[in-house]
Amino acid sequence: MKEKLKICHITTAHTRYDSRIFLKECTTLAANKRYDVNLICLDDFGIENKNNVCIIGIDIGKKSKLKRILLGSYYIKKFLKNHSYDVYHFHDLELLNLAYKLSKSGKCVIFDSHEDYFALVEDKKRIPKVFKKFFSNILMYFQKRTFKKCNAVITVTPHIKDKIVKYNSNTHIVENFPIVEKFTKRYKHKKNINLCFAGGISKQWMHHSIINALANLKNIKYDVAGISFNSKYFEELKKNDINKNMKFLGRLSHKDVKKLYGVSDVGMALNDYSFNVDYHNGSIGNTKIFEYMEAGLPLIATDFKLWKEIIEENNCGICINPNNVEDIKNAITFFIKNPEKIKEYGINGRRMIEKFYNWDESAKKLLDIYKELEIDEKKGYICFDCLISFKFFPCF
């Protein structure tokens, strides 16, 4: 019987229970008897075994974003000097150089590009324009150099894959679709409707436009779960909420978010056009619409090309321009005047999640990528003779 393949997922920016990394990818791989799965993260919670995954927290003391970016990779590298794995699966931008060095030494490396890194730089308003090109060029260098060396690259949406595949032909999309949970949604016809949102309280999600649209509407509640990292924007929202329609619930647990969805009527997913979502094309890397559909909620969402193909073609909700206050008002009014559509669109969305847009479908793609790495010995990815006889030496 062959030894299990030792897999190590590595993150410096995400928590140990991150939905995509731990709950979906690591747990999926750990369910396969061929894999021994480990997850390294930065925290002070020590070692824990959960879902057959060995989670290893590396304590770096008081953690700040700057410390994580500058020193996170160093602490991970220090740990890896005394630990050997067969596959290294990286998840964060600041780990590009470490991924490159391991690839260059002959290790099997997968890089999971969750976002469009160039777009993140471009969309950062705090970075002066004169420096954006400089940072973009540096990022381009490290990303191109690393992805060329990686055995495989994973991403979440087509427009990011189109960029990365130029450097590495073995680039795959593993969509961040939801894990389907038990459906308990109850629909009630009522005069007023409850809108909901769970996520970041930022301009990106157009809360200000929603507040303006609600100014002339009565008996509407807009429940917002999440936190704001921009106190000025947060105060502006509260100031402009004339009818006190908006209720801030703070950060909620996964369980409490599900409860919120259960008592809500319509999910708001108005994401602004930006470089990060390929402007009007949109991205399926953002999970907001799928969360609502999984919960049986109809949507009022941005008219991204990719989102319209999912939402409007399957009658799950309404897609509009997120900057047009009148369009937002009309979409909300539509559900007020047509309460039967809340149930119809919600059930349609749930049906699409169960059939197509669920993690089970994405899990198959992830497992296929790992299987390809195992059997493609001609490309030198993994030599099983080396794994068995020389466990701690890199394969070439």
* pLDDT of 124: 61
Which tens digit of pLDDT belongs to each residue from 331-351? 999 999 999 999 999 999 999
* pLDDT of 121: 58
Long-range pairs for 325-328 at CB < 8 Å and ≥24 separation? 325/209, 325/212, 325/213, 326/213, 328/209, 328/210, 328/212, 328/213, 328/270, 328/300
* pLDDT of 123: 55
Mean pLDDT of the chain: 89
Which tens digit of pLDDT belongs to each residue from 209-226? 999 999 988 889 999 999
Can you give the pTM of this predicted structure? Answer: 0.87
Of residues 386 and 289, the one with the higher pLDDT is 289
Has residue 87 got a pLDDT over 70?
A: yes
Has residue 227 got a pLDDT over 90?
A: no
Average the pLDDT over 137-151 and give the result: 90
Structural contact between residues 269 and 299, judged by C-beta atoms closer than 8 angstroms: yes
Has residue 361 got a pLDDT over 90?
A: yes
Of residues 126 and 246, the one with the higher pLDDT is 246
62 falls in which pLDDT band (50, 70, 90)? confident
Q: Quote the percentage of the chain above a pLDDT of 70.
A: 90
Out of 75-84, 134-143, 176-185, the most confident range is 75-84
Has residue 391 got a pLDDT over 70?
A: no
Which tens digit of pLDDT belongs to each residue from 181-213? 888 777 777 778 999 999 989 999 999 999 999
Give CA separation, 10 vs 38, 79, 145, 311, in Å: 9, 11, 19, 34
Query: What are φ and ψ of residue 130, in 5° steps?
Result: -65, -25
Instruction: Give first-to-last CA distance, the chain, whole Å.
Output: 23
Has residue 388 got a pLDDT over 50?
A: no
Q: Quote the percentage of the chain above a pLDDT of 90.
A: 73
* pLDDT of 122: 61
The domains located in the chain, with CATH, are 5-177+359-389 (3.40.50.2000), 193-355 (3.40.50.2000)
Closest CA to 204 of 269, 116, 123, 271: 271
Has residue 265 got a pLDDT over 70?
A: yes
